[in-house]
Amino acid sequence: MVNHFTWNPGRVIIFVYKEALTTPALAHRQAKTKAKGAITMAILVTGGAGYIGSHTCVELLEAGYDIILLDNFSNAKRSVPDHIRTLGGRDVEVCEADILDEEGLHSLFSRRSIDAVIHFAGLKAVGGCAQIPLNYYYNNVAGTISLCRVMATRGCKRMIFSSSATVYGDSNTVPFKEDYPTSATNPYAMCKLVIEHILRDIAAADSEWSVALLRYFNPIGAHPSGLIGEDPNGIPNNLAPYIAQVAAGKLPHLNVFGDDYATRDGTGIRDYLHVSDLANGHIRALVYSETNRGAQAINLGTGAGYSVLEVIRAFERACGKEIPYQVTGRRPGDIAECYADTEKAQTLLQWKARRGLDEMCADMWNFAAKQDQI
Binding residue for ligand UDP (CB under 6 A) from 331, 352, 355, 370?
331
Regarding 123 and contact with ligand UDP (CB under 6 A), the answer is no
Binding residue for ligand NAD (CB under 6 A) from 83, 85, 124, 223?
124
State which residue, 80 or 254, has the beta carbon closest to ligand UDP: 254
By CB neighbour count within 10 A (0-12 exposed, 13-18 middle, 19+ buried), where does 65 fall? buried
Q: Which does 299 bind (CB under 5 to 8 A by kind): ligand UDP, ligand NAD, none?
A: none
Q: Which does 300 bind (CB under 5 to 8 A by kind): ligand NAD, ligand UDP, none?
A: none
Can you name the residues that pair with 45 across neighbouring β-strands?
69, 118
Half-sphere exposure of 159 (CA within 13 A, CB side): 32
Burial 130-162 (b: 16+ CB within 10 A, else e): eeeeeebbebbbebbbbbbebbeebebbbbbbb
Total residues at interface with ligand UDP (CB under 6 A): 16
Binding residue for ligand NAD (CB under 6 A) from 23, 26, 29, 53?
53
Site for ligand UDP in 333-362 (CB under 6 A): 334, 338
What is the phi/psi pair of residue 8, to 5°? Answer: -110, 105
Stretch in the footprint of ligand NAD (CB under 6 A) among 10-18, 117-125, 244-252, 282-290: 117-125
Q: Which does 182 bind (CB under 5 to 8 A by kind): ligand NAD, ligand UDP, none?
A: none
Site for ligand UDP in 210-269 (CB under 6 A): 218, 237-239, 242, 254-257, 268
Can you name the residues that pair with 220 across neighbouring β-strands?
274
How far, in Å, are 52, 205, 221, 276 from residue 357 at the CA level?
Answer: 18, 42, 9, 13
Nearest to 267 by CA among 315, 314, 313, 307: 307
Site for ligand NAD in 191-250 (CB under 6 A): 216, 218-219
Compute the distance between CA of residue 234 and CA of residue 246 in angstroms, rounded to an integer: 13
Binding residue for ligand NAD (CB under 6 A) from 71, 196, 271, 363?
71
Rounded to the nearest whole angstrom, what is the least distance from the CB of residue 213 to ligand NAD in the complex? 11
3-state secondary structure of 67: strand
Cβ atoms within 10 A of the Cβ of 340, count?
Answer: 29
- Asked whether the beta carbons of 104 and 96 are under 8 A apart, the reply is no
The residues binding ligand UDP (CB under 6 A) are 126, 218, 237-239, 242, 254-257, 268, 270, 308, 331, 334, 338
Contact residues toward ligand NAD (CB under 6 A) are: 46-47, 49-53, 71-76, 98-100, 120-122, 124, 139, 143, 162, 164, 216, 218-219
